[in-house]
Amino acid sequence: MPEFTFLSGAGDWWRQAVIYQVYPRSFADANGDGIGDLEGVISRVDYLAELGIDAVWLSPFYPSALADGGYDVDDYRDVDPKIGTLAQFDRMTEALHERGIRVIVDVVPNHSSNRHVWFQEALAAPAGSAARERYIFREGRGENGELAPNDWPSHFGPTSWTRAPDGQWYLHLFAPEQPDFNWDNPEVRDDFLETFRFWSDRGVDGFRIDVAHALIKDMTEPFQEISGFEQANIPLDGSHPLFDRDEVHEIYASWRGVFDEYDPPRVAVAEAWVPSERRPRYASPDGLGQAFNFDLLLADWDQAQFRDIIAENLLLAAQSGSSSTWVLSNHDVIRHATRYGLPSGLSVDEVNAWLLADGGNIVENHELGLRRARAAVMLMLALPGATYLYQGEELGLFEVADLDAAALQDPQWMRSGFLRKGRDGCRVPLPWTRAGSSFGFGTDGAHLPQPGWFGGCSVEAEQDDEGSTLSLYRRVLALRKELQGAEELDWVPMSDEARPDAVLAFRRPGGWVSATNFGLAPVDLPAGRILASSSPLVGGMLTGNTTVWLATD
């Protein structure tokens, strides 16, 4: 591999990095089969470099039947032939590295796919065999074992148990095609260490760890009752049988040993849906080193909520010895430009009902939602810590809310009894050109249908338009590189007595200020020279739903 230099070459490059999530099957399709691929990523490395990000995180690209968008992995140390080859992976890594962009890959340790060679062996082997011990098989209840061992639900549907042909049942916290590994088995532990070495040896810089809070389960009988999978139902003492058990951290300490064999040490970020107080342990330097903080992604567009979340997470980050992370969107949630156009405080069920009712493409919602989304990303990028962006948010993409039922791929749709439309609306292939087949995504269609308005949000439509969301992202990402300093922040009190709760402002080391007006009415600007704003300022005032960055030296 050629020599390459990164802007920040030190082992802590990740602390305040901007990481861009690529969902490979929906990013760019180089061979025209409708599915995004690694050559597609290679063809867009200049786009990524120009955007000004520090790293890409690739969602799974491993061989998979796509029962859950690739989070059902057949082989952790290979590339899906539908997407590319290992040689292409190496070329992609090299091309990104040459541009100073690091590479993070997604590792899915809680479950494999049902096509993984180990699960196939387990099915072929008898009850009680070593092959079955790599997964979680149990006898059923009832006279002939015809009832599942217990009534634990799965994330995607009514039960987390499926019966094998010989009558035993296996556990899957997600789809039946995603059997859960038995992490008490040293063979499973050793195999993942090998996977980390495999990718690290190929030059991968880090790992995103899927469902990091679920690996260890308490399977002692009688089984514990569980009241649901929501974060709010996870107790703070590690006593939930499935989530956030203290023993998971022993696993992460052993991974840290492998990460630290490399120079610079490989990094990892935990996807751990745990109460915030429990997050620092995942982010500990002795463990994974960083953890997603999804609090902004769950918050309303509300000054007080944002302020509390920021304050709490900066404290938690300090406790963990890590930096904080910030996220507004990813491949699992409704795009935030759409979310911010909906009324505040909707429950998940209400959002689902809205998606089912096909309300998604109402233009007024779009205008307000996008304006707030632009303000939100500037606020987020002004914070100390690392920021995770999701492909397409830089184009101001909205959720494709009116996908036909026949087009839906997400297992949530079918397994929820058609109550939850699922996550396909944020996974529609990206528009690169104003027109043409699949708007430049590929040459022959896209695996999820793109709506007509995609052309107006394409890279081609936005790249030379100063007012576009793409131009805003490029501008503020470049500015952030110049401005970002120590991981500190001081709140700036705003003096507008009439609207005390409208504005959130803070000063960063080096003297620059970010101020966001969450309200509708314009307010006075803090003093300073304007560096960037998410929407035009009118009459020297900070307009509603707008963020501004100011130099105050």
**59, 77 Cβ separation under 8 angstroms:** no
Tell me the CA distances in angstroms from 548 to 144, 330, 339, 503, 533, one per residue in order: 67, 25, 22, 11, 4
Whole-number Å distance between alpha carbons of 457 and 541 = 28
Catalytic residue status for 39: no
Shortest approach of ligand NOJ to residue 506 CB, angstroms?
Answer: 30
- Binding segment for ligand NOJ (CB under 6 A), chosen from 12-20, 25-33, 64-72, 520-528, is 64-72
Q: How does DSSP assign 443-474, residue by residue? A: SS--SSPPPGGGGGGSHHHHTT-TTSHHHHHH
Whole-number Å distance between alpha carbons of 134 and 116 = 12
Please list every residue from 148 through 177 that binds ligand NOJ, using CB under 6 A: 174
Residue nearest ligand NOJ by beta-carbon distance = 71
- Binding segment for Ca ion (CB under 5 A), chosen from 25-33, 53-61, 204-212, 531-539, is 25-33
Shortest approach of ligand NOJ to residue 474 CB, angstroms?
Answer: 27
Catalytic residue status for 237: no
Q: Which of ligand NOJ, Ca ion, none is residue 104 near (CB under 5 to 8 Å by kind)?
A: none
- Binding segment for ligand NOJ (CB under 6 A), chosen from 65-73, 134-142, 314-322, 340-348, is 65-73
Residue among 13, 23, 61, 71 that touches ligand NOJ (CB under 6 A): 71
Q: Which of Ca ion, ligand NOJ, none is residue 35 near (CB under 5 to 8 Å by kind)?
A: Ca ion
Residue among 37, 39, 177, 210 that touches ligand NOJ (CB under 6 A): 210
Residue among 55, 211, 317, 377 that touches ligand NOJ (CB under 6 A): 211
Residue among 21, 23, 37, 326 that touches Ca ion (CB under 5 A): 37
- The H-assigned helical ranges of 418-553 are 459-462, 469-483
Whole-number Å distance between alpha carbons of 293 and 384 = 13
Shortest approach of ligand NOJ to residue 332 CB, angstroms?
Answer: 5
426 forms part of the interface with ligand NOJ (CB under 6 A):
no
Q: What angle do CA 95, 100, 104 make, to 5 degrees?
A: 75
Whole-number Å distance between alpha carbons of 58 and 539 = 43
Nearer to Ca ion, 212 or 428 (CB): 428
- Binding segment for Ca ion (CB under 5 A), chosen from 22-30, 144-152, 388-396, 500-508, is 22-30
Report helix, strand or coil for 324.
coil
Report helix, strand or coil for 141.
strand
Query: Cα(first)–Cα(last) distance of the chain, in Å?
Result: 44
Beta bridge partners of 327: 388
Shortest approach of ligand NOJ to residue 271 CB, angstroms?
Answer: 6
Shortest approach of Ca ion to residue 81 CB, angstroms?
Answer: 11
Q: How does DSSP assign 37-101, residue by residue? A: -HHHHHHTHHHHHHHT-SEEEEPP-SS---TTTT-S-S-TTS--TTT--HHHHHHHHHHHHHTT-
Which pair of structure tokens corresponds to residue 199? 């990718």
- Binding segment for Ca ion (CB under 5 A), chosen from 17-25, 37-45, 207-215, 534-542, is 37-45
Whole-number Å distance between alpha carbons of 157 and 362 = 30
Q: Which of ligand NOJ, Ca ion, none is residue 68 near (CB under 5 to 8 Å by kind)?
A: ligand NOJ
Please list every residue from 73 through 112 that binds ligand NOJ, using CB under 6 A: 108
Tell me how many residues contact ligand NOJ (CB under 6 A). 10
Shortest approach of ligand NOJ to residue 154 CB, angstroms?
Answer: 10
35 forms part of the interface with Ca ion (CB under 5 A):
yes
Shortest approach of Ca ion to residue 14 CB, angstroms?
Answer: 30
Shortest approach of Ca ion to residue 37 CB, angstroms?
Answer: 4
Tell me the CA distances in angstroms from 249 to 67, 235, 273, 366, 490, one per residue in order: 29, 17, 15, 42, 33
**398, 338 Cβ separation under 8 angstroms:** yes
Please list every residue from 269 through 288 that binds ligand NOJ, using CB under 6 A: 271
Shortest approach of ligand NOJ to residue 144 CB, angstroms?
Answer: 32
Shortest approach of ligand NOJ to residue 110 CB, angstroms?
Answer: 7
Q: Which of 250, 261, 286, 444 is catalytic?
A: 261
Nearer to Ca ion, 43 or 224 (CB): 43
Residue among 29, 37, 39, 68 that touches ligand NOJ (CB under 6 A): 68
Which pair of structure tokens corresponds to residue 15? 């602390």
Please list every residue from 115 through 154 that binds Ca ion, using CB under 5 A: none
Which pair of structure tokens corresponds to residue 394? 């830089």
Exposure string over 158-183, b if 16+ CB within 10 A, otherwise e: ebbbbebeeebbbbbbbbbbbbbbbb
Q: Which of ligand NOJ, Ca ion, none is residue 31 near (CB under 5 to 8 Å by kind)?
A: Ca ion
Nearer to ligand NOJ, 35 or 108 (CB): 108
Whole-number Å distance between alpha carbons of 198 and 121 = 23
Nearer to Ca ion, 29 or 180 (CB): 29
Residue among 4, 6, 12, 33 that touches Ca ion (CB under 5 A): 33
Please list every residue from 307 through 366 that binds ligand NOJ, using CB under 6 A: 331-332
Amino acid letter, residue 330: N
Nearer to ligand NOJ, 78 or 332 (CB): 332
Which pair of structure tokens corresponds to residue 431? 């528009």
Whole-number Å distance between alpha carbons of 56 and 24 = 11
Report helix, strand or coil for 266.
coil
Q: Which of 37, 177, 210, 394 is catalytic?
A: 210
Close Cβ partners of 301 (under 8 Å, ≥ 6 residues apart) = 340, 344, 372, 376, 518, 545
Q: Which positions are annotated as active-site residues?
A: 210, 261
Residues making contact with Ca ion (CB under 5 A): 29, 31, 33, 35, 37
Residues making contact with ligand NOJ (CB under 6 A): 68-69, 71, 108, 174, 210-211, 271, 331-332
